[in-house]
Structure formats: structure tokens, C-alpha cells
Amino acid sequence: MRHFLSTADWSREDLDGLLELAVRLKREHRERGAIDLLRGRTLGLIFHKPSLRTRVSFEIAMTHLGGASIYITDVEIGLGKREAVEDVARVLSRYVDAVMIRTFAHRNAVDLAAHATVPVINGLTDLLHPCQIGADLLTVIENGRALDGLKVAWIGDGNNVAHSWIEATLAYAIDLRLAIPEGYDPEPAIVDRARREGRGKVTVTRDPNEAAAGADVLYSDVWASMGQEEEREKRLGDFKRYQINAALLGRAARHAIVLHCLPAHRGEEITNDVIEGAQSRVFDEAENRLHFQKALLARLVGGI
């Protein structure tokens, strides 16, 4: 049984195939509309964390492919509390053709996959966000940049999206520079594996200007993610130098694009003029969540 918990579990060839399929499905939908590839199939969507993009993109992805989806919150499940994870996995496997989980602890996704007999997709955990990276890589490709040799400047927290960018360097020769304030570094084990086994290069610096110099992509995320609200005031002070603004964008390559996984706190991690500027691809990137996830579902459930 194939799952999608991390891009690190998929080979470069597999990821290339997913991205190529996403490009094709995006083009074909615009030319022909919905298809019946997943007619009669159902995707279960488990949400411990609410979301705009994750829910809507997965539901629409199933609709475009001719299937259906069902939205499930922890009120119905009580995962690991009201009902054991292994029991939830076995029951859902009798009802649906795949499961997407958006949760806090990464262990929830891992344990669900270990006991499910249908594909399990990581829609986000506190550790990783592989579906977001799929959309990001698709956006880069659409903007005419090769993934090998790509220079990416991550500005901000060493969080789940940063971890997934680090894992992308396992498959692609990406020069990833992460400008992160002290105390917020990414997980050492993820960085160490990428440096040991990866095709790319991972550098952690305290200087946003150093990271941004000559970059093809500038990337940011909120300074305080869901579940970190009590840290917000401290983080505002710690991250105040780590903002994507016009001055920082000016240090990047002239052709550079700006990405952000959204939601954005305009005026904090990114300025309004940049997110609305000519080099922003933030909303193309958000749309591409749909197309990458369609490719993922077509591959995992539809077998193409």
C-alpha cells in the first residue's frame, strides 16, 4: 500500500511523475472540464486543524476527478482517545478509498497509515507539509525554472513547511538557504539526513540578506502557526528582522518569484506590496494545491 506522508518516501522519478501528471491534469481540466477517473470513489478527510486551502482543494480535486469526499472532525472520531488509531484506520479502510489527515502530531498520520489498507495522505502535521511542497515545486516549474540548481531562500521559522523544503533537497539539487532566528532551527535529524543523502545543499543562517542574495525563490510563512498562539508576542520580537519586503526582494535575482503557503499576516512576515507585487506567485501557488493533489489522488487511487 502506497501512502504520501513525506516526499522523502518517494523517489525523484516518482515525484517527477507526480509533477508531470499535475501539469497535464491542470491543462486538461481547462480544456475539457471534469473527468470520471475516480467515479464511485470516496476520500475521507480528517481534520484536527481547520483549513481553507486543504479542505477546499481536496474536495474540489475529488469532484474534478468524478469522485466524492466526506469531511470528518475529531468530534466524530476522538482519535487515540475515544477510539484507538488502529481501529479508526481499519474502519475507515472499509468505507473509503483513501484518507487525508490534517493533524498536529505527525505520529497520528504515521500510525493511521500503518494500520490502513487504503492510501493515507498527509495534509499537514506539525512536522511536515508535503502537499504544500508539491504545489510549490509545480509553481516553480510553471515559471520556467528547473528544480536542479534552484536557489531558494526560506525566511522565518524552521517549521513543518521548512522541513518539507529540506526534504525536497533529497530528490532535487536545490540550494536551500534558511534564514532563521536562533532558537527556531529546523529539526536536526531532518537537516542531517538531507546533508548526508541529498542531491541539494542546505544552509542555515541568521542573516536574511545572506539567504536572499541571488535567490530564485523567496519564501515565507507565518511567524506563529496554529497551536503557537501563546508564543505570538515573543515571536513577533524574535522574528522582526525576518520579513520579506521590497529591500530583501531587491537582493534576490531579478527574475525571482515570491511564494507563501498562506494564510499570510501582511505587515509581519511579508509586506503587502510584495505579496501584491509583480513577482508574487502566491495565489498561483495556492491554486496549485488543487492540481498537485489531483495528481496525487489520480496516482494513489486511480492508478495512473
pLDDT at position 75 is: 87
Instruction: Using the predicted structure, report yes or no on whether residue 175 has a pLDDT greater than 80.
Output: yes
pLDDT at position 82 is: 85
pLDDT at position 226 is: 65
Residue 227 pLDDT class (50, 70, 90 cuts):
low
Q: Give me the catalytic one of 48, 289, 291, 299.
A: 289
Over the Cα atoms of the chain, what is R_g?
A: 19
**In the predicted model, what is the mean pLDDT of residues 185-198?**
98
Total residues found in the chain within this entry: 304
Local structure of 62: helix, strand or coil:
helix
Active site residue 131: no
For 68, half-sphere exposure in the C-beta direction (CA atoms, 13 angstrom radius) is: 6
The per-residue pLDDT for range 35-94, each reduced to its tens digit, is: 999 999 999 999 999 899 999 999 999 999 999 999 999 888 888 788 899 999 999 999
Q: Give me the catalytic one of 41, 48, 53, 102.
A: 102
Residue 27 pLDDT class (50, 70, 90 cuts):
very high
Active site residue 260: no
Q: State what percent of residues in the chain have pLDDT above 70.
A: 99
pLDDT at position 1 is: 78
Task: Tell me which residue of 302, 259, 304, 298 sits closest to 61, measured CA to CA.
Answer: 298
Active site residue 129: yes
C-alpha cell at 155: 525566511
Q: Omega of the bond prior to 50 within 30 degrees of 0, cis?
A: no
Q: Model-level pTM greater than 0.95?
A: yes
pLDDT at position 259 is: 99
Instruction: Using the predicted structure, report yes or no on whether residue 190 has a pLDDT greater than 90.
Output: yes
For 1, 18, 202, 217, 282, the CA distances from 244, given in Å and listed in that order, are: 41, 30, 20, 11, 13
pLDDT at position 55 is: 98
Active site residue 102: yes
Fold of the CATH domain 7-129+289-300: Rossmann fold (3.40.50)
Q: Give me the catalytic one of 129, 163, 177, 235.
A: 129
C-alpha cell at 77: 472520531
Long-range contacts of 38-41 (CB under 8 A, 24+ apart): 38/62, 38/65, 38/66, 38/67, 38/97, 38/297, 38/298, 38/301, 38/302, 39/66, 39/67, 40/67, 41/66, 41/67, 41/68, 41/97, 41/98, 41/301, 41/302
The per-residue pLDDT for range 98-146, each reduced to its tens digit, is: 999 999 999 999 999 999 999 999 999 999 999 999 999 999 999 999 9
Q: Give me the catalytic one of 3, 216, 260, 261.
A: 261
Distance CA 256, CA 262 (A): 19
**In the predicted model, what is the mean pLDDT of residues 276-302?**
98
Q: Give me the catalytic one of 221, 243, 260, 291.
A: 221
Domain boundaries, the chain: 7-129+289-300, 144-280
pLDDT at position 292 is: 98
Active site residue 289: yes
pLDDT at position 81 is: 83
Architecture of domain 144-280: 3-Layer(aba) Sandwich (3.40)
* Residues 6 or more apart in contact with residue 192 via CB below 8 angstroms: none
**In the predicted model, what is the mean pLDDT of residues 191-210?**
98
**In the predicted model, what is the mean pLDDT of residues 153-179?**
98
The per-residue pLDDT for range 237-283, each reduced to its tens digit, is: 999 999 999 999 999 999 999 999 999 999 999 999 999 999 999 99
pLDDT at position 79 is: 85
Active site residue 221: yes
The per-residue pLDDT for range 114-125, each reduced to its tens digit, is: 999 999 999 999
Q: Give me the catalytic one of 3, 41, 53, 132.
A: 132
pLDDT at position 225 is: 76
Under a CB-based contact definition with an 8 Å cutoff, are residues 102 and 124 in contact? yes
